[in-house]
A = this chain, B = another copy of it.
Amino acid sequence: MDEQTFLEAYDPGAFPQIGLTVDLVLLSIVEGRLCALLQKRADHPAKGMWALPGGFVRPDEGLEDAARRILGDKAHMQDCWLEQLYSFGAPDRDPRMRIVTVAYYALLPREAFAAAMQAAPELVLAELDIGWTGEAGGPVGANDGQGEEMALAFDHAEILGHAVKRLRGKIDYAPIAFSLLPDRFTLRELQEVHEAILGRQMAKPPFRRRMIDQGWIEGTGEFETGTAFRPAELYRHIERKGD
């Protein structure tokens, strides 16, 4: 039997069906706090709970393609940095049927969420409650900014936990913080991003040097305006091959 004949005789229905979805962890910094885009579930199961934006993978599209399509549909965004996070497949994670989800995560400036939240009122940028320090890991909850806890659907607290852990492990050696900032930014703003992600304060001079020595940023010669006191220089992220 040659390959052609074999493929024609192959029966895909011989294997049991498992649903495959992509869920998105879309993170931002709002007032120095790490936030994620959540969507209130309008129907059962988990009605009224909060879930990550997600959707089924189409049969003819790649995993990252599906993630980008859902990013456009649900969050009205395109062309941002996106990375695969982890796959979740506990048999009982969704009560409807067996669903395995591949989680992706992205970092976006707060302004990027404006269009999505305008178009869909069930979307909220929720503040994250990270009950651990460093890269310990574990589930991560959410609150509405007034201290009111938001119940998360399915295993989405686990997914958020993985995202935060990945982020904390990666921010020191990969130039990912810049996705959260506008094109031009001050060193103080960059530091606030790092502090929000790592969940701890740091001293200013060592931070300055680390950033500059890494070669990821360059000064523009311009300065911020509208400050009450001495304005800081505006820096810009340097795109380099391999990053």
With A3-B44, A55-B5, A89-B63 in contact, do A97 and B12 touch (Cβ < 8 Å)? Answer: yes
Query: Interface size on A (CB < 8 Å)?
Result: 47
Bound state CA distance, A184 and B55, in angstroms?
49
Least Cβ–Cβ distance between A53 and chain B, in angstroms: 10
Chain B residues with Cβ below 8 Å from A98 are 59-60
| A57 on interface, CB distance cutoff 8 Å | yes
What 1/0 mask marks residues of chain A from 1 to 12 whose CB sits below 8 Å from any chain B CB? 111011111101
In the complex, the answer to whether B20 meets A97 with C-beta atoms within 8 Å is no
In the complex, the answer to whether A1 meets B44 with C-beta atoms within 8 Å is yes
In the complex, the answer to whether A56 meets B2 with C-beta atoms within 8 Å is no
| A79 on interface, CB distance cutoff 8 Å | no
| A74 on interface, CB distance cutoff 8 Å | yes
| A115 on interface, CB distance cutoff 8 Å | no
In the complex, the answer to whether A15 meets B7 with C-beta atoms within 8 Å is no
What 1/0 mask marks residues of chain A from 96 to 130 whose CB sits below 8 Å from any chain B CB? 11101010000000000000000010000000000
Quickly give the copy total for this chain.
2
In the complex, the answer to whether A73 meets B1 with C-beta atoms within 8 Å is yes
In the complex, the answer to whether A7 meets B96 with C-beta atoms within 8 Å is yes
In the complex, the answer to whether A20 meets B100 with C-beta atoms within 8 Å is yes
Bound state CA distance, A19 and B90, in angstroms?
16
Which 6 residue pairs of A and B lie closest in terms of their CB atoms, listed nearest first?
A: A6-B44, A63-B89, A16-B59, A12-B97, A3-B44, A87-B87
Interface residues of A (CB under 8 A from B): 1-3, 5-10, 12-13, 15-21, 43-45, 47, 55-63, 73-74, 84, 86-91, 95-98, 100, 102, 120
Least Cβ–Cβ distance between A167 and chain B, in angstroms: 16
Which of A1, A16, A88 is the most central at the interface, judged by chain B CB atoms within 10 Å of its CB? A16
In the complex, the answer to whether B3 meets A97 with C-beta atoms within 8 Å is no
In the complex, the answer to whether A62 meets B89 with C-beta atoms within 8 Å is yes
In the complex, the answer to whether A3 meets B73 with C-beta atoms within 8 Å is no
Partner among B6, B19, B120 whose Cβ is within 8 Å of the Cβ of A15: B19
Least Cβ–Cβ distance between A160 and chain B, in angstroms: 17
Bound state CA distance, A63 and B57, in angstroms?
18
In the complex, the answer to whether A12 meets B19 with C-beta atoms within 8 Å is yes
Partner among B6, B7, B20, B95 whose Cβ is within 8 Å of the Cβ of A20: B20
